Amino acid sequence: MVSGDPYLSDLRPSGGPDYGLDRGHDWRVDREELFPDSIDLRGDPAQETLHGSHLLPNGDVLFNSSYIGTVRINACSEVLWQLPKGNHHSVSRAEDGTFWVSGASDELRTTSEQYPDGFPGLDDPLWLHQIHHVSADGKLLERINVLDVLYANDLQRYVVKAYQPQAGKEAPRTTDLLHLNDVEPLHSSMADEYPLFEAGDLAVSLRKIDFVFVFDPDTGTVKWHTSDPLIMQHDPDFIGDGWVGIFDNNKDFMDRGQMLGGSRIVAVQPHTDSVEVRFPTRRSDPLYTKAQGKWQQLPNGNMLLAESKAGRVVEVAPDGRTVWEWVIDPYSESKVSRVMTAVRHDLTAADVADWPCSAVDSETTR
């Protein structure tokens, strides 16, 4: 499944040596109708990107209209519910059927309930990035302020470190201090492979401060964090055997990442302090997206990578070689739309044929 603007699509292999992809199902999204009463909250929904999505087995999809809210639609693209809470970037399903979603405050703030007198050293109003726990029917169950978590665990030094020396003796002059871009729960099926963590712990990515951490959402305790190997990263995933895999954008000062060699997949094993660069290798084709970007570890050992700014999805083998690639159709001679997400799902054509409004012929799939 890939997500971009203004649609989400189910793509599937067409067979043959060229690894072509056929469109299996489209969800059409009318962004102007998503949040008609929310235009003054964080921007115009008609202009915002669709960023972060999660496909359910029955064809329902949850997705975010960036910094506006989360929407659930069915396979017929009919809206089932809307949650206008400034949601953005990521939607991850927990084992109990609820969802963890990146969110933000509805206005610029200088305080929180835990810090009613303000955050020491931060005087200017900020967007408070939040982790939202959302029920299957679209109710906000819990809201966790990420800045609260950093201060409570004495991790605010990473904010200072990220904004020096530019800030000098002053606070950083930005309203987007952290830029939360992913929240990922650890499932019980692999929790025993992570000696430092327990099922239900959350992996969190903060792009602006090059920071990934794992914490217990019930207690707020941060159990592990890393910063050094990353530059403007996205999408930390628990990938088994104690490893956390991260899409490291590796942003530099050049258009195609020539200075540092492009975007990477960095794997970190918290209980051993081990770090590996899984992609690229000497056999890899160039891949770089200075912003956005997603990845997925596939069961066969391959990796699925979304080179978002290039509108490209590529599957690579463990040795870094390209297995296949797909590029979204250009909308002008020199420009393509972004591809925000690419995920492989364990669904057959027969499964898709059973969805309402499916374009897949059920008779030919059985």
Closest CA to 305 of 278, 343, 252: 343
Provide the percentage of residues in the chain whose pLDDT is more than 90: 74
Show Cβ contacts of residue 270 under 8 Å, excluding neighbours closer than 6 positions: 194, 196, 197, 214, 224, 226, 242, 244
pLDDT at 354 over 60: yes
DSSP letters for 55-107: E-TTS-EEEEETTTEEEEE-TT--EEEEE-S---S-EEE-TTS-EEEEEE-SS
CA atoms within 13 A on the CB side of 55: 23
pLDDT in tens, 73-90: 999 999 999 999 999 999
**Which residue type does 364 have?**
T
For position 172, what pLDDT does the model report? 86
For position 227, what pLDDT does the model report? 97
For position 18, what pLDDT does the model report? 46
d(CA 195, CA 35): 43
Q: Which residue has the tokens 């094993």?
A: 269
Please state which architecture CATH assigns to domain 84-365. Answer: 6 Propeller (2.120)
CA atoms within 13 A on the CB side of 90: 31
Q: Which residue has the tokens 């800045």?
A: 147
pLDDT at 13 over 60: no
With residues binned 3-state (H G I as helix, E B as strand, rest as coil), the percentages for the chain, rounded to 5, are 10, 35, 50
Considering the chain, what is the average pLDDT of its residues?
A: 90
For position 38, what pLDDT does the model report? 61
CA dihedral 286, 292, 298, 301 (to 10 degrees): 40
Q: Which two tokens stand for residue 274?
A: 């081990």
Cα Rg of the chain (Å, integer): 20
More confident residue, 236 or 164: 236
**Are 68 and 47 in contact, with CB atoms under 8 Å apart?**
no
Q: Where are the domains of the chain?
A: 84-365
Phi, psi at residue 62, to the nearest 5°? -100, 140
Kindly indicate the confidence band of residue 28, based on its pLDDT and cuts at 50, 70 and 90: confident
pLDDT at 135 over 80: yes
Provide the percentage of residues in the chain whose pLDDT is more than 70: 89
pLDDT at 169 over 80: no
Predicted TM-score of the model (pTM):
0.92
Q: How many other CB atoms sit within 10 Å of the CB of residue 278?
A: 19
pLDDT at 300 over 90: yes
Q: Which two tokens stand for residue 190?
A: 């692999």
* Lowest mean pLDDT, pick from 45-59, 232-246, 247-261, 305-319: 45-59
For position 17, what pLDDT does the model report? 42
Geometric angle at alpha carbon 91, from 87 and 96, rounded to 5°? 120
49-61: string of b/e by CB count within 10 Å (b at 16+)? bbbbbbbeeebbb
**Which residue type does 185 have?**
P
For position 30, what pLDDT does the model report? 81
